Structure 1
Amino acid sequence: MNFKDYQPQINALIPYRNKPDFNSMLDKIFFGESQSDKFLVKMEVNRLVKPCTRIIDLREKVIDKAEQYEHLDITHYLTVSANKALKAALKLYGGYTIGVYEHVLNHVQKVKQIQNEKALQANVLEVNENITENIELNNHRRQAAARMFFVSKVNIVLANGDVLAAATSNISVTGIKVKLPEQEQHLADQLVQVIFTGLSNDYKDKAISNKKINYRLVKQQQERTGFYLYLNIEDDKPDFVKFIQGFIRSNQHKYKLDVLYYFRVAREKALKNSTLNALNTLPIFLNAEANKPILFMLRNAVNKEVLNQWRCNNSNQLPFLFSTARLAALLNTTDTLITTTVYSFTYIKDGEEYLLSATEQELQAQGLKHLFIEYGRNQTNWHCYHLTLQPYTYQAVKNYQLTDVRPKIFSGISHVATLTEIATDEIISVNPKADKGNPNLLNRFVHKETEQGFTPTYDLFPDELRKEERYSYTSNIALNIAGQTFTAKVIDFSGSGLKIALAAPKAIAKRSLIKIDFTDLQKVTKQHTLTNIEYRVVSSSAKHLYHLQIASSESYKTMKQFFTLLVKSNPAHFKEIPLKSHKQPVTPRLHEAAEAALHPAFFYVAITNGKPTISFSSITESSRSLKQLFNFDCKSANQNNHIALSNNKLLDRILFTPLRESTISNTPFTIERSIYVKKVKDDNNKWKIESYLDEDFESEFAKREFIVEHKKLKQLQILHYRLSTIDVPNLTLIKSEMDIISCHAIHLTKRLEEELLNIKVMLQVIDRTEQVL
């Protein structure tokens, strides 16, 4: 018998439960039912009227705010509607019984179901296939470390000396979120001190006991569960940070970890790696105060074609594009982000090559644009580029390994430029009847100088991963592993690493910490103590060979000084193992610097069951015009709306058709075109976006008239898009994050794999409005 089907009849019996005519009422209300069913109903009524002492606490369980209510010395936390349901049930049952308790919970479930249905209906109505999540690729996340949800008492000392008793809501190595007993506003951005009273009592560690740690108040707000302060650490206390790191690591299975942080980090890392790999933009780093401004360039397999286009007479000509005079002219503006067009071509005379280049401003100022274009477009190596230039100071965001030192050349960077080839037929003013002029006037744009010194070009994805010089040398050493001593020999060494061979077979786990005594080398020095030097196992190979990396700052300092002095004093004795390519800074730092070049809009196309969809997008806040266009009709800055690429069946023409054709031929492809975006108001005074391709205009004249008309109305944006196949994101790069995620939420790991492995195509968009107009 299902009592839910008879709930109204059972409720009608409740008032008669202690009256003599209860049985007669039971027979009347359940007339026609079997005696066994009537017996079960009677037992259910007896169960419902039994007294209850259970507390109803709806905090953290419902969306609505739960308030405190007292009833017969029992404190409940109820919503307004749940309290009304409680009072009605108390009146029905005559006291707090099991029936009252279940009645309130049933009411809460019904409210939740209604809310869920409304939310589902709202989502159905609000689904917009053009809106995608914005993925930050430039590593400027506000949350810099994973949180662990852990409650512990703290005291907060404000700038005015007041002390607040509070409790942590979550903690990380970079900040904490604390809950106050009641709402009270505090001075924003003030420096406060936090005393971890709860942790100090539980852990008698000198890094935290009776210590006041400096934090800065970055946010305060009333939330559903209370009033919270968000604090970022402002103290330079490595011991404290190390303690918090260890505490989170050792307790991450006991307390809930913010796996969504690792999910976001993994997705960003994988997408950024694929984007940098497929980027056709060449990042160029400059020092505007130097006699030779260009410092270095960052190359991948795609943008190296741009570098090749600037080679002439077996020399790199890019330093002359950024000569001191030309750079000063470009920087002679108040704009933070400078954009222009650069034209270049190669002229061959008497077997000699000459490269000419000019910016849009130079050609306009000297009235030579028509001559340069008409003459240059008929020469070899004719190219048109989109150039951006903006101030840039390298600031490391990541926590780097001990040996990943900051390159000296990074300290001189004042600006970053990007050069992107534009392979489209943009409108260029041409008068076929006009005299082309004297080509000798173009001699002023010839690169005549010779390069001063070598301009390094660093590979973003190098084959050579060695960070420093390595030398072959055999020497006896003693290893201490977890209290056991072993003998081994050095095969080769560098300032921060060793390659060793164990004398006896022994399996050493990766990441194991080893202490080494350099028994032979200690005999040649009294200046350095070469015992208990800490190394960590990086990898292993056949014949018990292990590759080690220095593991502590003190050990690194000692061995770097000793090996440098040793090699310098005995240059003929040590044979350097040759590098496969030019020495360059460590790859993670190059990738971090390359983030400055990620200012186009990127859209990532996933192909699932043969159907392509734009799954993610990435637009930096600094790309204001693109962010404004693609944030159209979005409710959040974390969303992008690609309606400018999809209306007027544009997506089918610029994306789906090329993909279908490439699938048939199974070959990589690259397509570049222009899109003309018009923003107009409809009859309801709402903005509407309409987009067109070149073939949508009857003629070049019609396209020109369209551009001129909407230029006056300031309703036009002209985009250059590049569609290209990309390599599937490399999941090995995010193995550590995926391992953590899989420990807590295996479904997120599967979701991450599916999302990333389906990405096959990237759409890159640049705003060319000003340049075309």
Structure 2
Amino acid sequence: MTTEDLKDYVGIIERMKSLMNSTEFDKVFSLMTSDLPKSKQFLLKMELKRMAQPCDYFIDLRGHVDGEVRPYVFREKTHYMDDKAIQIFENGLKQYGGYTLGVFEEVMNADNNFRVMHKKETAQRVKSVLQSSDSADDSPAPAQNEQSTAKLVTFGHYVNRTEERMNFGIDVDVQVNDSRFVATTSDLSISGCKLKIPKGRTAEPGATVTINFTGLEQEFTLDIPAGVQYTLVDVEQLDKVNYWRLKKLPTEQDQGFSNFLQKFIHGNKRRYKVNLDNTTDAVTTKGYEQFYLPRLNSLPVYLAVNDGAVSPRFALTTDYNKSVWHYFLDEQQRPVLITLLAVKRLKSLLAQAGPERSTILYCFTHAAKGKLYYYSATAEELAAAPQLRDTFFGFGAAKPSWRVFHLNLIKTAAQHANETFSLPGAPVKAEAAPDKAGLTPLVQGVIKNLRYIACLTDISATNAANYQQYRYNPAHLSQLNQFGHRKLPQVPPCEAIPVQYINLRAESRYLYKTTVQLRHNDQLVAGFSRDFSTGGLQIETNEPVRYSKGDIIQLDLVDLQKITTKHQLSQLPYEVMAVSKSHTIMNLRALPTDDGHTAKQFFQQLIQNNRAKLTLAEETPKYPGLSEALRTMYLKALNNFAFYLHRKGIRYELNVIAQGATPNALHTLLMQYSNPGPLDLELLLKNSTANLQFAQQLKTMKRFDPPKSYELYIKAPRNPAAPGAKLESYYDYEFDDAEKKQAFITSALHEATLFAFRLFLSRTGRPDTDYIAREISYISVYAIHRAKTLEEELWSVAGVGDAVDISKELAWRYRCFDQVEDTPRRLQQLSQNSKK
């Protein structure tokens, strides 16, 4: 590559490089450089001689250029270049008179090379920033527009290929519908192929296509004069060419040709690139799944149907939704979900139209005579009893136990528990046969009757004050009993099953029981340790304590002090992180001190010297494999809206969103906003939200912090044909105070169609590389650069978000009962108006 100090003389270099081997070189060079200093003339001549040196470098542009790379043979050496690179290469051969360093550098620095493109974009961004700074006069520069188009990931969806496909371009003779023409293969497998078809050649899916592999017949004896018959599966139309996807039809000669292809692909898959698209897509999908599920805010409750009776059987818990699970445990630690998810409510949800069957659920509890009584009502139930609505809201919202939930009901089946993805060449896991998918008979037995998943998402936030403004007559309180949950003498078992991926703790915990003493407010409590790590302990006390999260205690390690004189193990400062409902078990975190926490130093040395003797604290599940089965079932059925923030240097990007089996309301709105074209996230990313709001929030969060919630309002005009009518979005933090926000919401509800969503933003940790290790290893064998790119993409994920529809709750929060409409109906009306 020409150095920077010679860039000004690139015109001379271009003129002279074709004369390097000519007798006129010195004469022409002297004429063109006569006005240059001798030093520059010398440097230019040395640069030209360097570029003219013979070169035997191997050129491989696979994965490095924006173009279709194919084999190119030059002097018995196979290079891999796209059409643009081949043109540059052949022009360079003519100019230099052979393959030289100059030819190699020109090929490697083509405009469509990703490295070159990135360098130009970076230079342009730096230039823009400098220009903005120069013209700002010490005022802050306006935020740059963020990339608003996004990649869509579909959870639980993997494309299986039982065979390896090899990217292999060779001429073939094609016959279809009495027409015959020459085409080129794009990829090839034992049972199918993909053809690159000249423009103008057409056929309908289902047509029979006969192919003669003329390119292969030049090197091999195939003995198939009648050709090989395929059926046309799909046609992909592009600007200049079409691609046909074909599936081979079984014939008498099929076995012999299939054996040839199997040996040919196996023997050449190191020479020609194996098609990795499906495996790459699977790694991407599974990678984003394992970021999302452990940070799930919704509580999925799995409902079993036995002899016509419906009952909750399992709940899939995470650190972020455990509070919902604990909320629905009564004074005996029994779940009350069976009365919450009554058959009448479930039937009402199933009767709803549209892919999303959801409602708003209002709850509170009342304690009396040592018992806890639950009261709950859906929006539809309160709408049917308007005389009690104000009483329910006014009385219930004044209680500390007041909660508002988004309740969503989705269908599932035991067959969805199977992990359906397999690497090419691996045995296929049949979706209809759970025993072949790795599910144990025990797990098959406990999930066989699961038919529905009810997802509960806490959307209470700070809306209790709005509902407390409802005025009611105390004389009507007794009528709220119709919303009370009856006490059942026997409750069918419903178990909490934690989501299991990698151990997300920052350090390993070890089981160890030793005597401890706790001091707090001059009170001394005796207990013992259950497990420890360098950063904390789990303690069980002999009697209940009244500690709360955030309390600072002094801890004495009584017995451990007897084995060390180097460390002082008394009055150690610890912070209470969690306390059990029995008030006897608590998690403690070591508080940092100026001279380092003595216990941390002691435990580090203890672990280092006794690692082989210590027992890791690992939870043994009651049903091994059940957590994996339940999470797979949920992934294949959910209709949540998930989004991801990637950290790119000092900037954050929101350019990946995910959906489940069906899109929810926010997906639909973004699709309508983007139509036609790629998915546009401008409604989410207005005013540089990713960098100015989400990124700043993530920087202050730790991995286990509860999610930060936002409210997003999307205002749609009722008459899209009106001048200036368009979708507008607003975040709750854009309003200076609650009064201005309420004024906007009430106005928008009456004058337009208003959609509202609660967004939950969580900070992520490291990806679970073990979960995708097999796929990454497979990709690395054939394209290590693609494997590295995938790993870099996953490691750059800094935050994950979730969104649920709160449109109906928002209207009721501000007493706009006459403006409440079903979301599916409003989306349908919006779509019809847009078409008009």
TM above 0.5, yes or no, is yes
C-alpha displacement of 1:240: 11
**Rounded Cα–Cα distance in structure 1 between residues aligned with 2:336 and 2:761:** 28
Question: What are the superposed Cα offsets for residues 644-699 of structure 1, whole Å, 9 maximum, x if unpaired?
Answer: 3552868634541x334346xx9734322323344689999474644232672444
Task: Note if contact 2:356-2:639 (Cα within 8 Å) is conserved in structure 1.
Answer: no
Q: CA 1:686 to 1:742, structure 2 compared with 1: closer, same or farther past 3 Å?
A: farther
From 394, 418, 421, give the equivalent of 1:374: 394
Q: Structure 2 matches for 1:436-451, cutoff 5 A?
A: 436-448=474-486, 450=488
From 1, 5, 29, give the equivalent of 2:12: 5
Are residue 353 (structure 1) and residue 369 (structure 2) matched? no
Q: Structure 2 matches for 1:190-339, cutoff 5 A?
A: 217-221=233-237, 224=240, 226-231=241-246, 251-259=268-276, 261-286=278-303, 291-294=308-311, 296-302=313-319, 303-312=321-330, 313-339=332-358
Q: Structure 2 matches for 1:537-576, cutoff 5 A?
A: none
Q: Which structure has the greater CA radius of gyration?
A: 1
Question: Counterpart of 2:766?
Answer: 728
From 405, 420, 434, give the equivalent of 1:385: 405
**Rounded Cα–Cα distance in structure 2 between residues aligned with 1:437 and 1:246:** 85
Question: What are the superposed Cα offsets for residues 440-460 of structure 1, whole Å, 9 maximum, x if unpaired?
Answer: 212222222646743455443
Question: What are the superposed Cα offsets for residues 324-363 of structure 1, whole Å, 9 maximum, x if unpaired?
Answer: 2221122223233112111222222222222222211111
Question: What are the superposed Cα offsets for residues 478-500 of structure 1, whole Å, 9 maximum, x if unpaired?
Answer: xxxxxxxxxxxxxxxxxxxxxxx
Q: Structure 2 matches for 1:177-196, cutoff 5 A?
A: 177-180=194-197, 183-188=200-205
**Rounded Cα–Cα distance in structure 1 between residues aligned with 2:33 and 2:457:** 86
Q: CA 1:97 to 1:175, structure 2 compared with 1: closer, same or farther past 3 Å?
A: closer
Are residue 603 (structure 1) and residue 643 (structure 2) matched? yes
Task: Note if contact 1:340-1:387 (Cα within 8 Å) is conserved in structure 2.
Answer: yes
Q: CA 1:442 to 1:239, structure 2 compared with 1: closer, same or farther past 3 Å?
A: farther
Unaligned runs of 5+ in 2: 1-5, 49-63, 69-81, 129-143, 422-427, 430-434, 504-618, 812-836
C-alpha displacement of 1:306: 2.0
Question: What are the superposed Cα offsets for residues 381-420 of structure 1, whole Å, 9 maximum, x if unpaired?
Answer: 4321111123445555434383624936666555433111
Q: Tell me the secondary structure at the aligned position of residue 698 of structure 2.
A: helix
Are residue 652 (structure 1) and residue 692 (structure 2) matched? yes
Q: CA 1:136 to 1:210, structure 2 compared with 1: closer, same or farther past 3 Å?
A: farther
Task: Note if contact 1:632-1:640 (Cα within 8 Å) is conserved in structure 2.
Answer: no
**Rounded Cα–Cα distance in structure 2 between residues aligned with 1:319 and 1:174:** 51
**Rounded Cα–Cα distance in structure 2 between residues aligned with 1:144 and 1:636:** 31
Question: Counterpart of 1:92?
Answer: none
**Rounded Cα–Cα distance in structure 1 between residues aligned with 2:485 and 2:257:** 57
Q: CA 1:611 to 1:179, structure 2 compared with 1: closer, same or farther past 3 Å?
A: closer
Task: Note if contact 2:235-2:245 (Cα within 8 Å) is conserved in structure 1.
Answer: yes
**Rounded Cα–Cα distance in structure 2 between residues aligned with 1:404 and 1:743:** 26
**Rounded Cα–Cα distance in structure 1 between residues aligned with 2:216 and 2:706:** 58
Q: CA 1:739 to 1:331, structure 2 compared with 1: closer, same or farther past 3 Å?
A: closer
**Rounded Cα–Cα distance in structure 1 between residues aligned with 2:218 and 2:636:** 46
**Rounded Cα–Cα distance in structure 2 between residues aligned with 1:272 and 1:231:** 32
C-alpha displacement of 1:269: 1.4
C-alpha displacement of 1:436: 4.7
Task: Note if contact 2:641-2:664 (Cα within 8 Å) is conserved in structure 1.
Answer: no
**Rounded Cα–Cα distance in structure 2 between residues aligned with 1:142 and 1:163:** 33
Paired AA for residue 754 in structure 1: E
Q: Tell me the secondary structure at the aligned position of residue 386 of structure 1.
A: strand
Task: Note if contact 1:284-1:416 (Cα within 8 Å) is conserved in structure 2.
Answer: yes
Task: Note if contact 1:144-1:174 (Cα within 8 Å) is conserved in structure 2.
Answer: no
Question: Counterpart of 2:750?
Answer: 712
Question: What are the superposed Cα offsets for residues 486-526 of structure 1, whole Å, 9 maximum, x if unpaired?
Answer: xxxxxxxxxxxxxxxxxxxxxxxxxxxxxxxxxxxxxxxxx
Paired AA for residue 754 in structure 2: L
Question: What are the superposed Cα offsets for residues 549-604 of structure 1, whole Å, 9 maximum, x if unpaired?
Answer: xxxxxxxxxxxxxxxxxxxxxxxxxxxxxx95433655544332121464333232
Paired AA for residue 771 in structure 1: E
From 124, 149, 159, give the equivalent of 2:167: 149
Paired AA for residue 708 in structure 2: I
Q: CA 1:333 to 1:614, structure 2 compared with 1: closer, same or farther past 3 Å?
A: closer
**Rounded Cα–Cα distance in structure 2 between residues aligned with 1:351 and 1:623:** 45
**Rounded Cα–Cα distance in structure 1 between residues aligned with 2:297 and 2:212:** 51
Question: Counterpart of 2:823?
Answer: none
Task: Note if contact 1:310-1:318 (Cα within 8 Å) is conserved in structure 2.
Answer: yes
RMSD in angstroms over aligned alpha carbons?
5.9
Question: Counterpart of 1:754?
Answer: 792
Paired AA for residue 325 in structure 2: L
Q: Tell me the secondary structure at the aligned position of residue 243 of structure 2.
A: strand
TM-score (norm 2): 0.57
**Rounded Cα–Cα distance in structure 2 between residues aligned with 1:707 and 1:230:** 51
**Rounded Cα–Cα distance in structure 2 between residues aligned with 1:732 and 1:29:** 66
Question: Counterpart of 1:618?
Answer: 658
**Rounded Cα–Cα distance in structure 2 between residues aligned with 1:197 and 1:650:** 54
**Rounded Cα–Cα distance in structure 2 between residues aligned with 1:694 and 1:187:** 53
**Rounded Cα–Cα distance in structure 1 between residues aligned with 2:239 and 2:205:** 17
Task: Note if contact 2:393-2:470 (Cα within 8 Å) is conserved in structure 1.
Answer: no
Question: What are the superposed Cα offsets for residues 71-115 of structure 1, whole Å, 9 maximum, x if unpaired?
Answer: xxxxxx999xx99x99xxxxxxxxx9989999xx99xx79x9678
Q: Tell me the secondary structure at the aligned position of residue 230 of structure 1.
A: strand
**Rounded Cα–Cα distance in structure 1 between residues aligned with 2:33 and 2:381:** 100
**Rounded Cα–Cα distance in structure 1 between residues aligned with 2:246 and 2:402:** 55
TM-score (norm 1): 0.61
**Rounded Cα–Cα distance in structure 1 between residues aligned with 2:218 and 2:491:** 64
Unaligned runs of 5+ in 1: 45-59, 65-76, 87-95, 465-578
Q: Tell me the secondary structure at the aligned position of residue 131 of structure 1.
A: coil
Task: Note if contact 1:724-1:761 (Cα within 8 Å) is conserved in structure 2.
Answer: yes
Task: Note if contact 1:216-1:234 (Cα within 8 Å) is conserved in structure 2.
Answer: no
**Rounded Cα–Cα distance in structure 2 between residues aligned with 1:195 and 1:412:** 52
**Rounded Cα–Cα distance in structure 2 between residues aligned with 1:709 and 1:336:** 29
Task: Note if contact 2:167-2:275 (Cα within 8 Å) is conserved in structure 1.
Answer: yes
**Rounded Cα–Cα distance in structure 2 between residues aligned with 1:296 and 1:241:** 49
C-alpha displacement of 1:439: 2.2
Q: Tell me the secondary structure at the aligned position of residue 425 of structure 1.
A: coil
**Rounded Cα–Cα distance in structure 2 between residues aligned with 1:62 and 1:279:** 37
Are residue 740 (structure 1) and residue 778 (structure 2) matched? yes
Q: CA 1:608 to 1:379, structure 2 compared with 1: closer, same or farther past 3 Å?
A: same
**Rounded Cα–Cα distance in structure 2 between residues aligned with 1:722 and 1:770:** 18
**Rounded Cα–Cα distance in structure 1 between residues aligned with 2:731 and 2:502:** 43
**Rounded Cα–Cα distance in structure 1 between residues aligned with 2:799 and 2:219:** 53
Task: Note if contact 1:133-1:638 (Cα within 8 Å) is conserved in structure 2.
Answer: yes
**Rounded Cα–Cα distance in structure 2 between residues aligned with 1:26 and 1:430:** 91
